[in-house]
Structure 1
Amino acid sequence: MSGSAPSSRREGDEAAPSAPGVTRWGLLGTGSAVVLTIVLVLAAGSGVYAVLGYPDPGALTKLGVNLLRLVFDLAGACCLGGLVFAAFFTVPQRGGMISPDGYAALRTAGTAAWLWGVAGLLLTVFDAADSAGQSVTDSLTPGALSGLLEALDVPKAWLLSALLALVLAVACRSTLRWRTTIGLTVLAGVTLLPPVLVGHSASNGGHDFASDSMVFHVVAAALWLGVLFAVLAHARRRGANPGIVARRYRKLAATCWGVLAVSGVIGSLILAPARMWLDTQYGALVLCKIGLLLLVGLVSVPLRRRITRSARDRHVGMLRLAGAELALLLTTVGISMGMAHVPPPNLLDRNATAMDLLIGYDLPEFPSFWQLVTQWRFDLLLGTAAVVLAVSYLAGVRRLRAHGQRWPVGRTVSWLAGCLAVLVASSSGVGSYAPATFGVHMTAHLLLNMLGPALLVLGTPVNLCLRALPRARRGEPYGPREWLLGIVDSPVSRWLSHPVLASLLLVGSLYALYPTGLFQLIMQEHWAHTIMNVYFLGSGYLWFWSILGIDRTPRRVPQLARLGVTLGMMPALAFFGVLVLSMSEPIAGNYYRTLDLPWSVDPMAAQQAGALIGWLGGEIPLLLVLVVLLRQWHREEGDDDDADYRGMLARLESTRG
């Protein structure tokens, strides 16, 4: 545990950099965030409550909600940043234990998680009162609070985030293994999202774009600010590997800056068209955020590059630069707090249709083949993932070729075809019309759950990464190759990749989703619909990954077991198709009637078509899997026969001798 300390001293023997400068910048940024929050909330007056038809709850409730939200966001960023630093910026010790630097970051994350959870619990009460237009003192009785929680979605989101944050706080106190910090990092990212998914961006037309862009925006902002906290703490204690820490932070900050810029513009254009940016208070705040973001990019990015390349003490350089960057980012957070209290121009647009409110956009034409091919609406989450995965794979292949190594063309074609299947299912006319009719939904389901994952697994991406990514040098923080191995070889991956469990996750979702009322509940919320699609893709990939056995997996499953599981899946899919075909009532009938489509589709006919698509479309990939498994089995048997034949010849030769 003490082996990492000498490496930090060798990089610079100067005295530890002084903290007052950074402290002043931090206090300046925090003070400006608090002042901006108070001023903007009081300046907004009762506008947002008038739009919603609620009375003003009073200054105590309004300021309490927004100041607690500021604490919630800063604590969440600090927790996420500490976990990211421990997982991806430090050198694990032997046996997978975290290093002293990682332990310090983890303890800071745990302390921030306690504050995060407490702020979330208080926000549950304050936001319930604020959303109902009541004083917080009138909402503290158990009966009043339980009634508000039952009726309102936003307080439930704060409560969920608070409970997850408290789980993180406990886990950070008991975790000492590097691999576990990766899982906690994912959990911290998820904890940020519940309040985002039910906020202003989740209402009215375009809420699919607005909600997805806010997911990118909030995660990128928390990641940048949180890792900046962790890097500053690392520099103050003169931790190990300052050069590598500076380089990784520079790349992460530049990426977050780009994500913030793109996602912020997209979300702002949905909530407030550009023509309103000069005429509304919300638009003025958008312009202020854009200006601060440009200032951070123009000033910090070149200076970070200079510090990273400098041979002088990087701890001092990072502290001098990051203090000003911290102040600017905290000021931006203060403006965001004010924007959360200012009603965007499109809030409760009276011209919004039922389709606008439910799916975020209109579908004026019948879903003909031409509409399914041409009616594209890019999915910011899955569509972006498909593009990034395709580009990253091609970059890996190019790296191999640059080093004189070959990679099968068929695997590249398969991977790109899988990415195309995900893109079509999420962003083409198929993805656009999937929320409107059950037949198209099942087509998208088939692409995400069966065809796309099968093609992606055939691309063997893990093997490509292990060949293309370089190994981390001895004594340096792990790189992408080690991160990937840490995930693939983890006990969780080994558990999830068991063929029986993977099969239950795949086929069990069909029976839990469609014959019950769960599908109707999911389709009424964009965030739930997105989670459903991600689950389809993830469970499908997990099943084909464990069954095909052509890529690196945590466990080696015998051929006979894989054949048996595949054969068992076929009647399960067939029975599901028969079950849906025999249903007398349409699935999610109330939801489809609420859409009030301008064109008519017989719901039972659409359901029967969807059942056939799901049944037959699901059986075809399974048949192809059987062909692949039988060929593998035949090849293995042939290799065994050849080995036996060669052994027999060797024995004969020895006998003759």
Structure 2
Amino acid sequence: MASETVTPDPRTRSTTVGILVVTAGILAAVVAAALTAMSASDSYAAYGLPDPGTVTSLGLPVVRVLAEAGAVVCIGSLLLAAFGIPARRSGPLLADGYAAVRTAGWAAAVWCAGALLLVPFTAADATGRPIHEVLSAEVLFGLVDALEEAKAWLLTAGIALVLAVGCRVVLSWGWTVVLFAISLLGLFPVIATGHSASGGAHDIATNSLLFHLFSATLWVGGLVALLAHLARGGAHAGLVARRFSRIALVCWIVMAVSGVLNSFVRVPPDQLVTTTYGLLVLVKIVLLAVLGVIAYFQRERAVRRVEEGADTLLRLGAIEVLTMFATIGVAVALGRTPPPAELGAVPDRTELLIGYPLDGAPTALKLFFDGRFDLVYGTASLVLAGLYLYGVRVLRRRGDRWPVGRTAAWLLGCASILFATSSGMGRYAPAMFSVHMGQHMILSMLAPVLLVLAGPTSLALRALKPAGKGEPPGAREWLLAFLHSPLTRWLTNPFVALALFVGSFWALYFSGLFDAALPEHWAHLLMNAHFLLAGYVFYWPVIGIDPAPRPLPSLAKVGLVFASMPFHAFFGITLMMSKNVIGSDFYRGLSLPWAPDLLADQNLGGGLAWASGEVPLVVVMLALLIQWSRADDREARRYDRRAAADGDADLVAYNEMLRRLSGGDAAGSGSQSRSDG
């Protein structure tokens, strides 16, 4: 009798994946609690705190695993629904995407519950008190107001609640992408607190943790979402698996590099085997290495066979999920263990506030060459330059041309970002208002002008392969959907772009936001992002090579540029004439001996803001003149081609009209003469 192939019921597969995730979560909680128990007493003693008891010391890592597991599954499911599962750019989600969004909603509820539980646990742990002593509303609110980490978890709970509600009502692909972006935002409060956000070199530690946590979440959550999709018997299994395989490889590389950097900051190499923190770092490194090797070979083999059935990838993915969640448990234990660097020599005040020491007053040489590489914007500038050059190479390999001037503009724009954030200017910007203002001007007025002149969107649309008829949308279609989205049209509205560009100057520096942002490294990251994006959306419709969602006539472009000038000039003059020092508490706290006059430094910054406003105007006007000249040349060439094709019919018709008018006038004149006679 011939053997029959039995196809497993999708409901059985889904139950299996659910049991796998729960088992992995329990494993992570056990690992975190066990490793924390090994050093809990030493940790409290190191910080001079009493032992809060078993419920607090072991309950906190367990609850944190619960919150992080919810975050991982939520973000991974939204990633799958937005960019993994083929979907329509308009209209409701398909069944597979809707199922992934519903899973994300339940995971967001778990994330929210875990984050809320972490508020009292964090307060109890930070004060060395049993959990029941901080559960009263009055005590808890007082501790939350004083503890940044407790505030971070409360904010995280709010974001997770928005996601839980949003996943219940969202039905379209566009809003799924918005929810995915919000879910990534939910990781920021935790990144901004903890070991990496304090002490020396906290800029490198926070930036590397940013890369590490994002890549780990996308990898782990993406794999869980992929297994759930396969278990449901979802469509396009091979395509979804291949897309995730590419993401996972990039995430593993980013995790490896960022993890090494973060560990190097937190623990000296000679203490890797002599301290509890160092041993946990080594365990995590080994687990990540094993994950990278096993996952790659497993996934490549499974992707080739996934079309034959999902069971292969489900079996192989189970080992990867269990190892990943065990790694999460180790990471949670690391967060509960004081690093040796934090317990060592106390850094000086400057290093404690900005993350690194400063060697004397800034000179021209130091501003250019005494750099400190910015892991976020330095890396972004290099990656963007590489991607642009790769796109140009793709065009040239198939015989298409791309203007050299646009390539030069893009590379210069990336170089200006690199200089503003990773040279001596980036090093001194957090400590001196004048240097900060120079950085602000480069990021908001020089780099965006160069970037929009490079036409990156046009290059991407030409380099990316379009999806064929009947095929699911890919990167090119996603880019087109973003360009035609309501958000892009709203941002490029001339009035909105002008308000964001010039209004943000006043809102940031004269509302107290800048004073509140100065001590926070994450706030500097957001400020720099705002400077770049606000400048880009302002100059894109004015001189951008890429077609804007809202095309402007030439006179409107010139008017928009000239409308921004008075606001910008008056801002610089106001800073120069002001008698109140912006960010005075922070700058006085630095006590830099070579910058005693804070008001003079602020006036210098105002002068830089006023003078630098003329530079982009010259560049913009020159670019507009060149674009108008080229437009006239193109129109003349089109006219010549049309004239050659139709025998200059327009000119012939025009001459005929003049002849008739001339003949009619002559006839009219003769009749009038006869009448007079």
TM-score category of the 2 structures, normalised to the smaller one: over 0.9
Aligned partner of 2:482 in structure 1 is 487
Aligned partner of 1:205 in structure 2 is 200
Note if 1:336 corresponds to 2:331: yes
* Matches of 1:66 and 1:164, distance apart in 2: 21
**Which of 648, 651, 675 is matched with 1:649 structurally?**
651
Structure 1 residues 647, 140: CA separation in 2 closer, same or farther (over 3 Å shift)?
farther
- Three-state SS of the structure 2 residue aligned to 1:376 is coil
* Matches of 1:238 and 1:639, distance apart in 2: 54
* Matches of 2:458 and 2:634, distance apart in 1: 23
* Matches of 2:412 and 2:307, distance apart in 1: 49
**Which of 245, 253, 262 is matched with 1:250 structurally?**
245
Which deviates the most, 515-524 or 241-250?
Answer: 515-524
How far off its partner does 1:121 sit? 1.6
Structure 1 residues 21, 87: CA separation in 2 closer, same or farther (over 3 Å shift)?
closer
Letter in 2 for 1:156: K
Aligned partner of 1:82 in structure 2 is 77
**Cα displacement string for residues 331-378 of structure 1 (whole angstroms, at most 9, x for unaligned residues):** 101111111111111225443111111110001222111111211211
Note if 1:38 corresponds to 2:38: no
Structure 1 residues 314, 606: CA separation in 2 closer, same or farther (over 3 Å shift)?
farther
> What are the residue-to-residue correspondences of 1:441-480 with 2, within 5 Å?
441-480=436-475
Residues 410 and 453, structure 2, Cα contact 8 Å, conserved in 1: yes
Aligned partner of 2:564 in structure 1 is 569
Note if 1:270 corresponds to 2:265: yes
Residues 573 and 619, structure 1, Cα contact 8 Å, conserved in 2: no
Structure 1 residues 474, 285: CA separation in 2 closer, same or farther (over 3 Å shift)?
farther
**Bigger radius of gyration, 1 or 2?**
2
Structure 1 residues 23, 160: CA separation in 2 closer, same or farther (over 3 Å shift)?
closer
How far off its partner does 1:147 sit? 0.9
- Three-state SS of the structure 2 residue aligned to 1:95 is coil
Residues 363 and 597, structure 1, Cα contact 8 Å, conserved in 2: no
**Which of 493, 500, 508 is matched with 1:505 structurally?**
500
Structure 1 residues 56, 474: CA separation in 2 closer, same or farther (over 3 Å shift)?
farther
Which deviates the most, 466-475 or 250-259?
Answer: 466-475
**Cα displacement string for residues 15-70 of structure 1 (whole angstroms, at most 9, x for unaligned residues):** 45764875675455333212112212222223333333332222212223211110
* Matches of 2:83 and 2:181, distance apart in 1: 13
Which deviates the most, 393-402 or 587-596?
Answer: 587-596
The TM-score with structure 1 as length reference comes to 0.93
**Which of 551, 557, 567 is matched with 2:552 structurally?**
557
**Cα displacement string for residues 159-205 of structure 1 (whole angstroms, at most 9, x for unaligned residues):** 11111111111111111111221121111111012012111101111
Residues 441 and 609, structure 2, Cα contact 8 Å, conserved in 1: yes
Which deviates the most, 326-335 or 45-54?
Answer: 45-54
Note if 1:529 corresponds to 2:524: yes
Residues 237 and 306, structure 2, Cα contact 8 Å, conserved in 1: no
Letter in 2 for 1:409: V
**Cα displacement string for residues 219-273 of structure 1 (whole angstroms, at most 9, x for unaligned residues):** 1111111111111011111211111112111111111111111111111111111
Which deviates the most, 456-465 or 632-641?
Answer: 632-641
**Which of 385, 404, 421 is matched with 2:399 structurally?**
404
Residues 203 and 348, structure 1, Cα contact 8 Å, conserved in 2: no
How far off its partner does 1:563 sit? 2.0
Structure 1 residues 365, 94: CA separation in 2 closer, same or farther (over 3 Å shift)?
closer
Letter in 2 for 1:69: R
Which deviates the most, 166-175 or 635-644?
Answer: 635-644
* Matches of 1:627 and 1:411, distance apart in 2: 15
Aligned partner of 2:540 in structure 1 is 545
Letter in 2 for 1:651: A
> What are the residue-to-residue correspondences of 1:613-628 with 2, within 5 Å?
613-628=608-623
Aligned partner of 1:296 in structure 2 is 291
Letter in 2 for 1:273: P
* Matches of 2:529 and 2:544, distance apart in 1: 23
How far off its partner does 1:647 sit? 7.3
How far off its partner does 1:630 sit? 4.8
How far off its partner does 1:473 sit? 3.0
Percent identity of equivalent pairs = 43
Residues 306 and 313, structure 2, Cα contact 8 Å, conserved in 1: no
Question: Is there any run of 5+ residues in structure 2 with no aligned partner, and where?
Answer: 661-677
Which deviates the most, 589-598 or 372-381?
Answer: 589-598
Structure scoring higher RCO (CA < 8 A, sep ≥ 6) equals 1
Aligned length: 646
How far off its partner does 1:598 sit? 4.9
Structure 1 residues 94, 329: CA separation in 2 closer, same or farther (over 3 Å shift)?
closer
Aligned partner of 2:668 in structure 1 is none
How far off its partner does 1:424 sit? 0.5
* Matches of 1:141 and 1:365, distance apart in 2: 50
Aligned partner of 2:379 in structure 1 is 384
* Matches of 2:91 and 2:469, distance apart in 1: 14
**Which of 170, 183, 186 is matched with 2:165 structurally?**
170
* Matches of 2:378 and 2:276, distance apart in 1: 33
Aligned partner of 1:4 in structure 2 is none
Residues 469 and 481, structure 1, Cα contact 8 Å, conserved in 2: yes
Aligned partner of 1:215 in structure 2 is 210
User: What is the aligned-residue RMSD (CA, Å)?
Assistant: 2.3
* Matches of 1:85 and 1:272, distance apart in 2: 36
Letter in 1 for 2:354: I
Residues 383 and 422, structure 1, Cα contact 8 Å, conserved in 2: yes
Aligned partner of 2:664 in structure 1 is none
- Three-state SS of the structure 1 residue aligned to 2:613 is helix
* Matches of 2:581 and 2:649, distance apart in 1: 64
Aligned partner of 1:602 in structure 2 is 597
Residues 467 and 473, structure 2, Cα contact 8 Å, conserved in 1: yes
Which deviates the most, 235-244 or 343-352?
Answer: 343-352
Which deviates the most, 590-599 or 627-636?
Answer: 627-636
Letter in 2 for 1:590: D
Which deviates the most, 624-633 or 80-89?
Answer: 624-633
- Three-state SS of the structure 2 residue aligned to 1:205 is coil
Aligned partner of 1:6 in structure 2 is none
* Matches of 1:616 and 1:226, distance apart in 2: 49
Structure 1 residues 471, 367: CA separation in 2 closer, same or farther (over 3 Å shift)?
same
Aligned partner of 2:342 in structure 1 is 347
* Matches of 2:208 and 2:434, distance apart in 1: 28
Aligned partner of 1:136 in structure 2 is 131
Which deviates the most, 70-79 or 302-311?
Answer: 302-311
Aligned partner of 1:374 in structure 2 is 369
Which deviates the most, 640-649 or 382-391?
Answer: 640-649
* Matches of 2:618 and 2:359, distance apart in 1: 38
Structure 1 residues 640, 420: CA separation in 2 closer, same or farther (over 3 Å shift)?
closer
Note if 1:361 corresponds to 2:356: yes
Letter in 2 for 1:125: P
Letter in 1 for 2:331: S
How far off its partner does 1:416 sit? 0.4
How far off its partner does 1:404 sit? 0.7
Letter in 1 for 2:394: R
Question: Is there any run of 5+ residues in structure 1 with no aligned partner, and where?
Answer: 1-11
Letter in 2 for 1:336: A
Structure 1 residues 352, 241: CA separation in 2 closer, same or farther (over 3 Å shift)?
same
Note if 1:52 corresponds to 2:47: yes
- Three-state SS of the structure 2 residue aligned to 1:347 is helix
- Three-state SS of the structure 1 residue aligned to 2:606 is helix
Letter in 2 for 1:100: A
Note if 1:393 corresponds to 2:422: no
How far off its partner does 1:314 sit? 4.5
Which deviates the most, 297-306 or 278-287?
Answer: 297-306
How far off its partner does 1:92 sit? 1.6
Residues 266 and 341, structure 2, Cα contact 8 Å, conserved in 1: yes
How far off its partner does 1:485 sit? 1.3
Residues 453 and 537, structure 1, Cα contact 8 Å, conserved in 2: yes
The TM-score with structure 2 as length reference comes to 0.91
**Cα displacement string for residues 292-332 of structure 1 (whole angstroms, at most 9, x for unaligned residues):** 11111122212222222347515122112111101110110
* Matches of 2:632 and 2:243, distance apart in 1: 48
> What are the residue-to-residue correspondences of 1:413-428 with 2, within 5 Å?
413-428=408-423
Aligned partner of 2:669 in structure 1 is none
Structure 1 residues 616, 26: CA separation in 2 closer, same or farther (over 3 Å shift)?
same
* Matches of 1:422 and 1:365, distance apart in 2: 24
